[in-house]
Structure 1
Amino acid sequence: MPHTFFAPDLTAETSTHTLPEDESKHAVRVLRLSAGDAVVLVNGRGGVFEAEVTEAHPKRCQLRITQHEQVPPRPAPIHLAVAPTKNLDRMEWLVEKAVEIGVDRITFLRCARSERRDLKLERLEKIAVSALKQSSQAWLPQMDEMQDFKAFVTGVVPETTFIAHLEEGERTALAQVVDAEAGCCVLIGPEGDFTPDEIGAAFTLGIRPVTLGSSRLRTETAALAAVHTVHVARELGGR
């Protein structure tokens, strides 16, 4: 299978492309690509380009575009809104795996019990790109800067937004409420969970409570389980 490279500036009109110096060095010195070898380029906006190496130079590996396909976005996008953990490694793991499985947007929440109050996206965006290439995805998910929980929930569509919390009360399994034809947003709280006040604010807006199972999950595990659950529920619902 041809190696995949990320080229965000590519459009349908592009006929040639030169890899940046770091990727050129990787392509020629590590992957041992030479003139005539086939590669794949993705722009993160649905564009998938088949290309051929025309000059295998370690500083400016040149490619010729041979074919272009535009992959449509997911008709029912998955939006994950999660409070990041204090340990950033766990968020990096989450972003990598969520992109591999398929997520369209990730928003980071600042909650009352959040251990991390600020977050820089640069490292996470690089991990998302790497996961995009590894999993042969065409669309790079949108990643939002941290937002205060109460401000964020006022901007969502309540009918397709769900809050996974651990407080007592009636909750429905996420798999049972996912609409295969509508986008959805799942809210995942910090390690200490959402506060009763935050849960109440969500309920007041019409956001429904859901459960991801009987186990008490870490934040990043719960977030990944939510993304996977949505995919599985839609696949089963479409049969």
Structure 2
Amino acid sequence: MHLFYTPDIQPSHPQYFLNEEESKHAVRVLRLELGAEVQLIDGRGGLYTAQIKDAHPKRTILQITNVITAYGKRNHYLHIAIAPTKNLDRLEWFLEKATEIGIDEISLIICQRSERKEAKTERLNKIITSAIKQSLKAYHPVLNEGISFNKFIAKSFDGQKFIAHCEPGVKLNLKEELRHGGNCLVMIGPEGDFSPAEISLALDNGYKALTLGESRLRTETAALEACFEVNFLNR
């Protein structure tokens, strides 16, 4: 069944009108006709089943036939703060795969050793939207605009906070530390890693040093590894 992302849909309304872009895709590309069934997701946990009442290429009318709330809601909250990679394709790859696996919030942090100082979130959000449609996720992860490391570290977070880095020293692993069903924030640094000053500041602000294994991982790989571990340990 074909799936559409409809963030403005309201559960109490029996009908929904696809915008022109989605209507054109439904009628001209997918060639859906009167009576065809489709699914809709609102990004807030709602999964809708609907039937086409008017297959118009500019304003297709849908009749809502079923609504499931909190569809696929997970028992935990995962926030990953990641330094944008020099090659933006690698960040896009992470966002796509992390969305498919399961993630709630992503923050882009600009660090002392960051080679990329900005990343346009409009395109990155489209990557996320495509991934939730592909993997049938009813929740759309939040993508925050880029922010400096110092400003981000000063923000409060109600849950466990970790910083993964490559500097020597005592580090914890998620298998032993992660609280099942809780909120978790993991920070992943740029290609050159966090600076010692940044690591020290994070520890002073309640973060715990984290290991993701013996291998030296790329930024996007480390972030995805953390995403996988948190989801796996919360099963």
Which TM class, normalised by the smaller chain length?
Answer: over 0.9
Letter in 2 for 1:202: A
Tell me the equivalent position of 2:222. 222
**Paired residues for 1:7-86 under 5 Å:** 7-71=6-70, 73-86=73-86
Determine what percentage of the aligned residue pairs are the same residue: 47
Tell me the equivalent position of 2:5. 6
Q: Distance in 1 between matches of 2:92 and 2:229?
A: 20
From the superposition, tell whether residues 211 and 39 of structure 1 become closer, same or farther in structure 2 (CA, over 3 Å). same
Q: Distance in 1 between matches of 2:190 and 2:34?
A: 50
Q: Distance in 2 between matches of 1:206 and 1:25?
A: 50
**Structure 1 gap ranges (5+):** none
Tell me the equivalent position of 2:145. 145
Letter in 2 for 1:231: N
Tell me the equivalent position of 1:181. 181
Tell me the equivalent position of 1:130. 130
Give SS of 2:234's match.
helix
Give SS of 1:226's match.
helix
Q: In the alignment, is the contact (CA less than 8 A) between 1:75 and 1:183 conserved in 2?
A: no
Q: Distance in 2 between matches of 1:166 and 1:158?
A: 26
Q: In the alignment, is the contact (CA less than 8 A) between 2:47 and 2:68 conserved in 1?
A: yes
Tell me the equivalent position of 1:154. 154
- CA displacement at 1:188 relative to structure 2: 0.2
From the superposition, tell whether residues 7 and 47 of structure 1 become closer, same or farther in structure 2 (CA, over 3 Å). same
TM normalised by structure 1 equals 0.93
TM normalised by structure 2 equals 0.95
Letter in 1 for 2:30: L
User: Per-residue displacement from partner, 1:61-117 (whole Å, max 9, x unpaired)?
Assistant: 221111112116544210010000121111111111111111000000010001111
From the superposition, tell whether residues 51 and 205 of structure 1 become closer, same or farther in structure 2 (CA, over 3 Å). same
Q: In the alignment, is the contact (CA less than 8 A) between 1:158 and 1:205 conserved in 2?
A: no
**Paired residues for 1:93-132 under 5 Å:** 93-132=93-132
Give SS of 1:172's match.
coil
From the superposition, tell whether residues 60 and 111 of structure 1 become closer, same or farther in structure 2 (CA, over 3 Å). same
Aligned CA RMSD, in angstroms, stands at 1.5
Q: Distance in 1 between matches of 2:142 and 2:159?
A: 21
Letter in 2 for 1:20: N
User: Per-residue displacement from partner, 1:111-152 (whole Å, max 9, x unpaired)?
Assistant: 000111122110011111111111111111111111111221
Q: Distance in 1 between matches of 2:141 and 2:6?
A: 15
Larger displacement relative to structure 2 (148-157 or 10-19) = 148-157
Q: In the alignment, is the contact (CA less than 8 A) between 2:75 and 2:234 conserved in 1?
A: no
**Structure 2 gap ranges (5+):** none
- CA displacement at 1:158 relative to structure 2: 8.0
Q: Distance in 2 between matches of 1:225 and 1:145?
A: 23
